[in-house]
Amino acid sequence: MSEIRYDVVTGKIAVISTERGKRPHDFKKTDVVKNDGPCPFCPGNENMTPPTLVEFCDEKGTWKLRGFNNKFAAFSKDTNSSMVEGDNELHNELHKANDGYGVAEIIVESNHHDKTLGQMEIDEIQNIIKALILRYDEIVKDKNIKYVQMFKNFGANGGASLEHGHWQIMAVTFIPEAVERELQGVEKYKNGKGTCPYCDIVNDELTEKTRVVAENDRFIVICPFASRFAYESWILPKEHKKAFNKIDSDDIKSLSSLLKYIINRYEDLFDYPPYNIVIHTLPHQDERDFHWHIEILPRLTTFAGFELATGAYINPTPPEQAASILRLD
């Protein structure tokens, strides 16, 4: 049997297998990123990348974290060409397009080629978050930018093309539909109940406890009720806060501690599985309400025809079971 669950904010459907939840050893380990030749993200190879945009150094002046433009950018400010040539009204109606104006940057997490996020010290993770915020605040000075998407791909099945740990920042001239849907979901829920749905989720999960993985003074890690991915987790600020880039140094410390915890649990339980980390925050020019959060999406199963055809997801592990396994009781 299975159960169809609806995300309270977006309405997105997750089909949760209730009969036999897949446990960590049920997932095959098939994921290796192998790069030939020198690593462009390693110290000494800085000339293989564009110039430094942000870096943190140790007392000897050696960089510990380094950010720069993505050499293979999906978005850039160099937008002088277009493939689309309209020749009549119908043609133009069918072929709506814009140039790919935007920003694509890389943050290299550390100067160690194969140190993982779960292996890092908390202050190293704090530096990553600080660097993301520094770049965010710089990037949004460009008024053409509507949204800054920050994310991390890990492992081949997570879409990482380089092994050396890194984050990506992509700034675009539109509000992505997944973010817009959450914004509208928050608005609709607030209009009905007068409260923020994410605040209600935090309070409900703290009461019920079955989907809580970890918590500290400022943040909570849960496996969301309508988890689309097996062992999916979210990190939410306990207090209602709209925007990731407005967090203070105590937030950064608390967040880093939980991020290390949850990634370390994945690494231990699934032997360094592929995953994506995505940050959802209020678009910086937006007046609406939001509750920023982080989604961690382990890539243990494959998107297949059903997901691509329908937009609904089949998840073989109930989040209650996932949380009980991810939790250190």
Point out the annotated binding site for Zn(2+).
39, 42, 113, 164
Nearer to a copy of itself, 123 or 174 (CB): 174
C-alpha distances out from residue 164 to 86, 175, 198, Å: 43, 30, 34
**35 makes contact with a copy of itself (CB under 8 A):** no
> Rounded to the nearest whole angstrom, what is the least distance from the CB of residue 62 to a copy of itself in the complex?
28
Give the three-class secondary structure for 116.
coil
Nearer to a copy of itself, 59 or 85 (CB): 85
Q: Which of residues 174-203 bind a copy of itself (CB under 8 A)?
A: 174, 176-179, 181, 193, 197, 200-201
Q: Which of residues 293-322 bind a copy of itself (CB under 8 A)?
A: 295, 297, 301-306, 308-312, 314, 318, 320
**Alpha-carbon gap, residue 327 to 329, rounded angstroms:** 6
Part of the chain binding a copy of itself (CB under 8 A), chosen from 4-12, 38-46, 58-66, 106-114: 4-12
**163 makes contact with a copy of itself (CB under 8 A):** no
Q: Which two tokens stand for residue 325?
A: 């396994």
Q: Which of residues 75-104 bind a copy of itself (CB under 8 A)?
A: 75-76, 78-84, 90-91, 93-100
Q: Which of residues 120-159 bind a copy of itself (CB under 8 A)?
A: 147, 149, 151-153, 156-159
Give the three-class secondary structure for 157.
helix
Part of the chain binding a copy of itself (CB under 8 A), chosen from 108-116, 172-180, 245-253, 282-290: 172-180
**Ramachandran category for residue 295: left, alpha or beta (phi over 0 → left; psi -120 to 50 → alpha):** beta
Burial profile 184-204: b = 16 or more Cβ within 10 angstroms, e = fewer: ebbeebeeeeeebbbbebbee
Q: Is 166 a catalytic residue?
A: yes
**Alpha-carbon gap, residue 300 to 316, rounded angstroms:** 10
**160 makes contact with a copy of itself (CB under 8 A):** yes
Decide: 310 and 14 in contact? Cβ < 8 Å. Answer: no
Chain-centroid distance, C-alpha 251:
18
Burial classification of residue 17, based on how many CB atoms lie within 10 Å of its CB (0-12 exposed, 13-18 middle, 19 or more buried) = middle
Which residues are annotated binding-site positions?
Answer: 39, 42, 113, 164
> Rounded to the nearest whole angstrom, what is the least distance from the CB of residue 309 to a copy of itself in the complex?
4
Q: Which two tokens stand for residue 120?
A: 């890092």
Give the three-class secondary structure for 110.
coil
**240 makes contact with a copy of itself (CB under 8 A):** no
Counting every residue written for the chain, the total comes to 329
**116 makes contact with a copy of itself (CB under 8 A):** no
Nearer to a copy of itself, 108 or 160 (CB): 160
**165 makes contact with a copy of itself (CB under 8 A):** no
Residue 172: how many other CB atoms lie within 10 Å:
20
**36 makes contact with a copy of itself (CB under 8 A):** no
Q: Which of residues 259-298 bind a copy of itself (CB under 8 A)?
A: 276-280, 295, 297
Nearer to a copy of itself, 121 or 306 (CB): 306
**Alpha-carbon gap, residue 173 to 207, rounded angstroms:** 40
Known catalytic residues?
A: 166
